[in-house]
A and B are shown apart, each in its own frame.
Chain A
Amino acid sequence: MAVTTAQSGRAATVKSGISAAVADALIAAVIAMLLALPILTYKSVEQQTSLEVVSRWPWVLVGVAAVFIGRLALNLIWPRLGGASDGLARLGTVLARLFERVGGWRTAIGALLGLTLAASSAGWLATSRWLDLLLIVPLVIGVWRRSPAWLFLGLALFFPFAPGATRYYVENFGILVLIYVMLGWGLNVVVGLAGLLDLGYVAFYAVGAYAYALLAQHFGLSFWICLPLAGILAAFWGVILGFPVLRLRGDYLAIVTLAFGEIIRIVLINWQSLTGGPNGISGIPRPTLFGLEFKAEGGFADYFGLEHTSLHRIIFLYYIILAMALATNWATIRLRRLPVGRAWEALREDEIACRSLGINITNTKLTAFSIGAMFGGFAGAFFATKQGFISPESFTFWESAIILAIVVLGGMGSQVGVAVAALVMIGGTELFRDLEIYRMLVFGAAMVAVMVWRPRGVVSGRVPTIALGATRRIGSDLVKEGHG
Chain B
Amino acid sequence: MTTADPGPVLEVEALGMRFGGLVAVDDLTFSAQRGEITALIGPNGAGKTTVFNCITGFYRPTSGQIQARHADGATYPLHAMPGHRICEEANVARTFQNIRLFAGMSLLENLLVAQHNKLMRASGYTIGGLLGLPSYARAERVAVDLAKHWLQRVGLLHRADDAAGDLPYGDQRRLEIARAMCTGPVLLCLDEPAAGLNPRESRELNRLLVSMRGENGLSIVLIEHDMGVVMEISDRIVVLDYGRKIAEGTPSEIRTNPAVIAAYLGVEDEEVEQVEQEIRR
| Chain A residues within 8 Å of B, Cβ to Cβ | 331, 334-335, 338-340, 342-343, 345-346, 349-350, 352-361, 367, 462, 464-472, 474-475, 478-480
Contact = CB atoms under 8 A, between A and B. Distances in A.
A358 B87 contact: yes
Interface in B148-203: 148, 160-163, 165-166, 179-180, 183
B18 interface: no
14 contacts: A335-B126, A339-B119, A339-B120, A340-B120, A343-B113, A356-B56, A356-B100, A464-B106, A466-B108, A466-B144, A467-B108, A474-B163, A478-B166, A480-B103
Given A353-B96, A465-B109, A334 B130 contact: yes
A367 B87 contact: no
Contacts of B126: 335, 338-340, 367
B161 A469 contact: yes
Nearest to A479: B104
Given A358-B88, A466-B108, A349 B116 contact: no
B130 A464 contact: no
Contact of B129 (A338, A345, A352, A367): A338
B116 A338 contact: no
Contacts of A478: 103-104, 163, 165-166
B87 A346 contact: no
Nearest to A345: B105
A375 B140 CA distance: 27
B161 A359 contact: no
B104 A358 contact: no
A354 B109 CA distance: 13
B101 interface: yes
A355 B112 contact: no
A480 B113 contact: no
A467 B151 CA distance: 13
B119 A468 contact: no
Contacts of A359: 84, 113, 116-117
Contact of B58 (A335, A340, A355, A469): A355
A467 B179 CA distance: 16
A176 to B, nearest CB: 29
Range for the number of chain B residues in contact with chain A: 35 or more
Given A338-B130, A472-B161, A474-B163, A462 B104 contact: yes
Contacts of B102: 345-346, 349-350, 353
Most chain A beta-carbon neighbours within 10 Å: one of B96, B113, B120, B123: B113
A136 B106 CA distance: 37
A467 B112 CA distance: 11
A475 B183 contact: no
Most chain A beta-carbon neighbours within 10 Å: one of B85, B106, B144, B166: B106
B183 A342 contact: no
Interface string B67-102: 000000000000000011111100001101000111
A478 B108 CA distance: 16
B114 interface: yes
A378 to B, nearest CB: 16
Given A356-B83, A466-B144, A474-B163, 8 more contacts: A339-B112, A345-B104, A349-B104, A356-B100, A357-B179, A472-B162, A474-B105, A478-B104
Nearest to A346: B113
A125 B58 CA distance: 64
B209 to A, nearest CB: 19
Contact of B109 (A350, A466, A470, A480): A466
A444 B102 CA distance: 34
The 3 closest A-B pairs by CB, nearest first: A358-B87, A479-B104, A358-B88
Contacts of A466: 106, 108-109, 112, 140, 144
